[in-house]
Structure formats: structure tokens, C-alpha cells
A and B are shown apart, each in its own frame.
Chain A
Amino acid sequence: QVTLKESGPMLVQSTQTLTLTCSFSGFSLNTNGVGVGWIRQPPGKALEWLALIYWDDDKRYNPSLKTRLTISKDTSKNQVVLTMANMDPVDSATYYCAHRQLRQAAFDFWGQGTLVTVSS
């Protein structure tokens, strides 16, 4: 079955760069039409889509955060990495990674999420 799990630091300092890893199983990012995205959710607030990478290395970014985000994949390790530069306390949130199929156009499997707190 498809599973995803996020990992990374629980606490980062302001201005630092956050690096999060999504480790997955049950699918391959070499498969046509498959993608992995990142979505975050500040405590008590709504979901916000951040970035998405497809099997063909096509990358998409939230326009309002594009300058701070980098997404990459390592298909041999079944991992997707997201970096977010210049972290601020407002970036404190639970960060989720999720599987997406191009033909479904939806995030159909999600990781459990990882809470990141940014201290000033």
C-alpha cells in the first residue's frame, strides 16, 4: 500500500533554511503520471499548497512562496526533499507530503505530517 512519512527538524531559528524529507513506499516516482507534493497547515488554520514534483522532474511552486522553495527527488531512495529558505515564525506549521496522480488531479495519500516551529 502507499505510505508517506515526513522527517526533519522540529525547531528551526528565524532566517535559517528548513529541509524536510518525504520518504515513501508503495509507488515509484519513475512511474508516468505520479507526483509528490508538499502542503502545510499552521496551528488552527487552513491548508496551504507549497510545491509539487512529477515523475518527469517537472516542478511546480506556490507563486507566493516560489522564491523561497526548492523541491527535488531521489528516485533511488524513494524520497522527495523540500527546502524553504529564510524561515520566519509565521512559517510554523505542520508540513505534509502527499501522493498525486496527474489523471486524478488530487492528493490521494498523505503522510502523518511533521510539526515545525520557528523561533525568533
Chain B
Amino acid sequence: QSALTQPPSASGSPGQSVTISCTGTSSDIGGYNYVSWYQQHPGKAPKLMIYQVTKRPSGVPDRFSGSKSGNTASLTVSGLQAEDEADYYCNSHAGSNNFEFGGGTKLTVL
């Protein structure tokens, strides 16, 4: 059982926006601005999409954005495209000796 809670699934039609939540506690998400998000296509390694809550690595489309409120972080994908269909995982610093992942959300583009 993962320490961070994500919805198992999310979906949207091409062009729409979808938001995936990641809920933790004051000991992880709420206590640090070190939330990151990863995209994983079937059979592939995860890819960093968002770090430090809101920052995008070079090469990640600006359709992907991150935010945080209290103990919940969110990933929003705007202008959904077929290639966005994948599993998404959140990760948070949780003290000096832990970097927790969420249970993952399967995003389906209808």
C-alpha cells in the first residue's frame, strides 16, 4: 500500500484537460515543496514530467503543469493528446530518509 494516494484511473477526450491528484500528509507533501511527477508508458521506464511541485524539465510540453495545496499535489494535463495515455506517479520527499511514490493513475484518452 503506497503512502501517497492517487485515483486508480482518470480519463478525458482529446483536447480536454484532466487533473490527477496525489494526497499525502503534513509529513510528506504538506511539509516539503519536493513533489515530482512521472509518466510511464507500458514496458518503458518512468519519465520525469514535473519537479519541485511546478517546474518542468527541458523538453516537457507546457501542457503539463503541477500545483499543490496543503497535503495534496496535482498534475494537470491540458489539451489532451493520444500520446498522453500512460500511467502517472507522484513522488514526495518525506523526511531525510524517504522518497514516497503514489500508487499510480492510469490516464486514458477517450
Asked whether any CB of chain B lies closer than 8 Å to the CB of A60, the reply is yes
Residues on A with C-beta less than 8 A from B51 are 104-106, 108
Q: B52: CB under 8 A from chain A?
A: yes
How far apart are the CA atoms of A117 and B1 in the complex, in Å?
21
A112's contact among B45, B100, B103, by CB below 8 Å, is which? B45
Are A46 and B101 touching (Cβ within 8 A)? yes
Instruction: State A39–B48 Cα separation when bound (angstroms).
Output: 14
| Bound Cα distance A107, B102 (Å) | 15
Nearest chain B CB to A62 CB, angstrom units? 7
Query: Most B CB atoms within 10 A — which of A61, A96, A104, A106?
Result: A106
The minimal Cβ–Cβ distance linking A26 to chain B, given in whole angstroms, is 15
Identify which of residues 29-55 in chain A touch chain B, using a CB-to-CB cut-off of 8 Å: 37, 39, 46-49, 52
Within 8 A of B (CB), among A79-120: 96, 104-113
Q: Which residue of A lies closest to B48 (CB)?
A: A108
Q: Which residues of B contact A108 (CB under 8 A)?
A: 48, 51, 57
Ordered by A's residue number, 30 sampled pairs between the chains whose C-beta atoms are within 8 Å are A46-B102, A46-B103, A47-B46, A47-B89, A47-B91, A47-B104, A48-B101, A49-B99, A49-B100, A49-B101, A60-B98, A60-B99, A61-B97, A96-B45, A104-B51, A104-B52, A105-B51, A105-B93, A106-B34, A106-B48, A106-B91, A107-B36, A107-B38, A107-B46, A107-B48, A107-B91, A108-B48, A109-B48, A110-B45, A110-B47
